[in-house]
């Protein structure tokens, strides 16, 4: 039986930095992620978006940030298991101590002294509107995330949504596409106000109180039928690219089945990033506490905090804080 000191469930930014920091603390570490590659939503949903709120990086593409985090995480050679979804955890006895048995959908068992849940927003999938969209259009002319901006170059683009992603892509495509139209079902946007103001200054046709009713095309996307939800008046737009940023469907019921206390769609933690289950920690967007701030930077700090307390959980005689990395004797 190969037992790890800490198993990190989630290979996004928080999980990757947590893996690096666990290696820094000398822990034998494993990462498990349901996705086929490391990076979480940075690579799966937003690889071409710029990230601006990471210390030391005034502006960096999400895919490049994910790559840097993965390289940093690999410095201490953690075990990495991709394409497996964690289904259940339970405690077992091993050599006189309690450890965790982690079961996945691949009928695989992993064993660990502690667990760090770095699930981001959870195992989420993009919401899809109730429209009759041919399967072959998805990822060719109908998109729920942008993985290649060039597919929108010189195209008539319709964006559906009013959050950060929708507004950010409207701004990004305003200089790339032939025309950009954004529709939102109300006149209040959930996006950062500065981005909304930028969108209003850019060449974006903004239609509030409009929703998408239908899409049409002969072999490929050609038209979108939208309607004013106040009057029912319909309008047909000529488009050849559709980007729907209307949120995600999140299912975290499996965590409740483990006996973990939840606050809506987040895991309740204390200042040590401990959950109510002994030996299980949570960090990043999935963790909820009174001073919560959902940033990549704070997720990294929470991961480091969780790892430090995991170290003491494993060995009560260990130092809680190792000091600054510049003062450590590290051989890489």
pLDDT band at residue 139, thresholds of 50, 70 and 90?
confident
Q: Which domains does the chain have, with CATH numbers?
A: 3-124+249-327 (3.50.50.60), 128-246 (3.50.50.60)
pLDDT of residue 244: 94
For residue 125, what pLDDT is reported? Answer: 67
pLDDT level of residue 86 (50, 70, 90 thresholds): very high
| 328 contacts: CB under 8 Å, gap ≥ 6 | 24, 322
Q: How far, in Å, CA of 169 to CA of 243, rounded?
A: 9
Q: Supply the pLDDT for residue 183.
A: 98
pLDDT of residue 43: 87
Q: Residue range 207-216: average pLDDT?
A: 96
Convert the pLDDT of each residue in 148-185 to its tens digit: 899 999 999 999 999 988 999 999 999 999 999 999 99
- Is the per-residue pLDDT at 74 higher than 90? yes
Higher pLDDT, 192 or 29: 29
Which is higher by pLDDT, 185 or 330? 185
Q: Is the pLDDT of residue 264 over 90?
A: no
Beta-carbon contacts of 309 under 8 Å, excluding residues fewer than 6 positions away, are 272, 273, 274, 281, 320
The pLDDT value given to residue 327 = 73
Mean pLDDT of the chain: 92
Length of the chain: 332
- 126 pLDDT band, cuts 50/70/90, is confident
């Amino acid at each position: 039986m190969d037992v790890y000191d800490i198993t990190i469930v989630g290979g996004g930014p928080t999980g990757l930095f947590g893996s690096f920091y666990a290696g820094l603390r000398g822990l034998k570490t494993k990462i498990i992620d349901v996705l086929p590659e490391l990076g979480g939503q940075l690579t799966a949903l937003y690889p071409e978006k710029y990230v601006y709120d990471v210390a030391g990086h005034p502006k960096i593409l999400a895919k490049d940030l994910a790559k840097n985090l993965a390289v940093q995480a690999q410095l201490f050679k953690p075990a990495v298991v991709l394409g497996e979804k964690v289904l259940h955890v339970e405690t077992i006895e091993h050599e006189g101590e309690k450890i965790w048995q982690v079961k996945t959908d691949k009928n695989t068992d992993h064993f660990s002294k502690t667990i760090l849940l770095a699930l981001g927003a959870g195992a989420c999938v993009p919401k899809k509107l109730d429209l009759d969209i041919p399967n072959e259009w998805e990822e060719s002319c109908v998109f729920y995330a942008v993985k290649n901006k060039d597919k929108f170059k010189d195209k008539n683009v319709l964006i559906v949504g009013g959050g950060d992603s929708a507004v950010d892509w409207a701004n990004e495509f305003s200089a790339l596409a032939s025309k950009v139209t954004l529709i939102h079902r109300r006149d209040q946007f959930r996006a950062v106000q500065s981005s909304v103001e930028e969108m209003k200054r850019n060449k974006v046709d903004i239609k509030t109180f409009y929703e998408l009713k239908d899409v049409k095309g002969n072999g490929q996307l050609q038209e979108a039928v939208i309607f004013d939800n106040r009057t029912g008046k319909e309008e047909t737009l000529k488009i050849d690219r559709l980007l729907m940023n209307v949120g995600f469907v999140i299912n975290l019921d499996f965590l409740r089945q483990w006996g973990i206390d939840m606050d809506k769609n987040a895991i309740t933690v204390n200042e040590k990033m401990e959950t109510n289950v002994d030996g299980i920690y949570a960090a990043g967007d999935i963790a909820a506490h009174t001073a919560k701030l959902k940033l990549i930077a704070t997720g990294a700090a929470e991961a480091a905090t969780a790892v430090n307390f995991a170290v003491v959980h494993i060995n009560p005689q260990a130092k809680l804080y190792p000091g600054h990395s510049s003062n450590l004797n590290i051989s890489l």
